Amino acid sequence: MSGFVDEAQLHVKAGDGGAGAVAMRREAHVDKGGPDGGDGGRGGSVWLVATTNQSSLLPFRDHPHRGAENGVHGGGKKMHGARGKDIEVPVPVGTRVRQSDGTIMADLANAGDRWMAGEGGRGGRGNASFLANNRRAPTFAEQGEKGHEEWYDLELALVADVALVGYPNVGKSTLISRISAAKPKIADYPFTTLEPHLGVVRADDDHNFTVADIPGLVEGAAEGKGLGHQFLRHITRARALVILVELDPVTGVSPAEQQRVLIDELRRYQPDLLDRPRLVVGSKSDMVPDEFLPRTVNVETFDRAELAAEAAADAAAAAEADSDEEEFRPDLVISAITGQGITSLVGRLATMVDGARTAEPEADGTIVIHRPLPEGFTVEKIGDGEFAVLGKAAERAVALNDLTTDEAADYVQSRLKRIGVDRALAKAGARDGDTVHIAEMSFIWYRDQPEFIGQPTSRRRRR
């Protein structure tokens, strides 16, 4: 069974807030002590944290659930409940988080990046918080909010300095095993590599960089042919690309055609990949007689702008020329078996990576949330004479432990009116006698006098 997993699901359940307490002071020699119920504690939140100590999403494949602690309920004597502990969920650097509709919520591209995947519910207020001039002995308190709960899709895009791109069986695994300590599976048949491998290359005492061996691409990979999308995703973060072309292809696809197809697939998947520094490298030179080896391009500069212009020119030429007639001129010819060109390749890659790193802005650890959780509320008509009010603001207004008392109903009515629910219902077309649902509470709506239903002792509220 493979130990590398780059797609998984995650279910987060943040902690529920603790309920507020209803209590009255009952002490000797204390006349009319009044309410002293404490507030409930906030529920713990679920955080995703990018770490280099994890290289796969394997921990989520069979165990996708992660949850934080609930807040503790409040108590008498204004004792506030303890807050639930947050939970930190480690994920590999390069993890993207998507909602079920495909929306990217967070991209944890750097070690230490943090994103709140589930916010803990707010603790409910105790009855001491509801003391007012017209409410001297409140007998109700707030319930704690439910913690955020959601399923997410996780996908991992490897973070590497260099990505090796090529057809199946062109020698990518052999090359990465030659220039690094990585030991991928190597065999003489296509699709030996079914998962990407990372290797650390030490060019000299001051220059180290990482190389990713991407499983072989085929024509149509940009549209998902084979496992195209899974493989191409791991190229998107690479600072530089190596287009590895087999000089003596057993598949019958000429080197020029291999290059054309690979560059075209990169362009179709993500056009800006062609703006990155890249080398076209002919592999397995030991299989071709010296007199038949292609001429190489003498690349002495790795200026980012020049490489981008050269890449665009190469792509345009490849699109216009017939692949059978086009002369294949790689930047370098190598053999991972004999070692030909390996030292030169490592040196050039080190120069390219250094240039790309210098051109990048420093990461500040900021995570952009593409769709913040909405505040406020909305009104939806869900049937004939039936409406639903959605949103935290409205749910908080009705989250009391007892709605059967007049003072609690008065409080809810005034709070809903204050945040604009009455006005929004009227605008949405609600009429006297219609049913309105907010969270787990339902009531018959009248403009100035809601009638709460569904409670153990429901009754029409008096004026």
pLDDT tens over the chain, length 463 residues: 355 788 899 999 999 999 999 998 877 766 667 899 999 999 999 999 999 888 889 899 889 999 999 999 999 999 999 999 999 999 999 899 999 888 889 999 888 999 999 999 999 999 999 998 888 889 999 999 999 999 999 998 888 899 999 888 888 888 988 898 766 544 444 444 456 778 889 888 777 899 988 876 655 544 444 444 566 788 888 999 999 999 987 767 899 999 998 998 889 888 999 999 999 999 999 888 887 788 777 544 444 455 445 545 555 554 554 444 457 889 999 998 899 999 999 999 999 999 988 887 765 555 545 444 456 899 999 999 999 999 888 988 888 888 778 888 888 888 888 999 989 999 999 998 999 999 888 888 887 665 555 443 333 333 2
How many CB atoms are located within 10 Å of the residue 399 CB? 27
What is the model's pLDDT at position 290? Answer: 82
How many CB atoms are located within 10 Å of the residue 80 CB? 20
d(CA 391, CA 378): 6
What is the model's pLDDT at position 455? Answer: 46
* Residue 22: both structure tokens together: 């209803």
* Residue 453: both structure tokens together: 């239903």
d(CA 312, CA 333): 22
* Residue 223: both structure tokens together: 């549209």
Predicted model pTM: 0.73
Instruction: Give the burial class of 133: count Cβ atoms within 10 A of its Cβ; 0-12 exposed, 13-18 middle, 19 or more buried.
Output: exposed
d(CA 196, CA 184): 9
d(CA 394, CA 379): 10
d(CA 124, CA 143): 5
* Residues 284 and 246 sit within 8 Å (Cβ to Cβ): yes
Q: Which residue ranges form the domains of the chain, and what is each CATH number?
A: 1-156 (2.70.210.12), 162-359 (3.40.50.300), 378-453 (3.30.300.350)
> How would you label 200-219 residue by residue, b for 16+ Cβ within 10 Å and e otherwise?
ebebeeeeebbbbbbbbbbb
